[in-house]
Amino acid sequence: MSHKEAQLEGPDVHCTRQGTGTAPAPAAAPAPPRSLKLASAEPQGLTSFALSLLLVFRTNSSYGRFDEARKIWGGILNRARNIANQVRGGPSPGAARGGLPGL
């Protein structure tokens, strides 16, 4: 066994026993996929239009739900602030002047 072969052997080295240190040849590359040729772009245009309408309707309905939830959450926060002000003792500071507090 030569010195080069002794260096190539070990638990972490995976190579041939001849000491060449070369990796096996890579497998042949797969053939490129065939291109699909459509007779017309019309079917794609019709389906993309239908999908865009569906997406718009779904977006509008989800925004409507979000907006309704935001209004409800704002009402809950306002009621909670009013209750906290009543528990704290009396009306808010701006109510005596008839304006908004801090203005």
Query: What pLDDT was estimated at residue 83?
Result: 93
Query: What pLDDT was estimated at residue 12?
Result: 53
Q: What is the spatial distance between Cα 100 and Cα 70, in angstroms, rounded to a whole number?
A: 23
Digits of tens for pLDDT over the chain (103 positions)?
555 544 555 555 555 555 555 666 667 777 777 776 766 667 777 788 888 888 888 899 999 999 999 999 999 999 999 999 999 886 655 665 555 555 4
Three-point CA angle 55, 59, 65, nearest 5°: 150
Q: Residue 101 contacts by C-beta under 8 Å, 6 or more apart in sequence?
A: 92, 93, 94
**In terms of pTM, does the model score above 0.95?**
no
Query: What pLDDT was estimated at residue 52?
Result: 87
Query: What pLDDT was estimated at residue 90?
Result: 64
Tokens 């979000």 appear where? Answer: 66
